[in-house]
Structure 1
Amino acid sequence: MKICSVCKKISATDQDHLDCVQRRSIEMEDEDFKNSIPEKLNLSKDNQELGVEVRAILEHMTKEKEKAD
């Protein structure tokens, strides 16, 4: 028996729980996607061309990212 490194509960096998590993993988993919959005939209060129709604969403996501750091 081992303690799962993700959820910190006892695992019957000598490995982490499969669902915990998958959940962590999905969370990392989501974080990578959120971090890559500005590059995909080419925000470094000119963000004034974006609509007001898109700019508001991106500002919100940036603030969310700063809080997490």
Structure 2
Amino acid sequence: MESTISLRPKGKGKPSKGASSSDGKSKFEFVKEWSNWSLKKAKVATHYGFIPLIIIIGMNSDPKPHLYQLLSPV
């Protein structure tokens, strides 16, 4: 009694005209979905990592400033 896993949704409706019979989505849609996902993750990483990166670069420069000197507006 083997159980098989199906990747196709069990819903009503016909598959789209250009879709392959194996998975229901074209390769273009798959690539588009993953590229959107990766760009969203890169946006979040850039958003939260930009200021710490600038602080680290500033602390490794010559002359070596203290952290409060980097964060002060003057």
User: Counting helix residues as a fraction of each chain, which structure ranks higher?
Assistant: 1
User: Counting strand residues as a fraction of each chain, which structure ranks higher?
Assistant: 1
TM-score when scaled to structure 1? 0.43
| Greater Cα radius of gyration, structure 1 or 2 | 2
TM-score when scaled to structure 2? 0.41
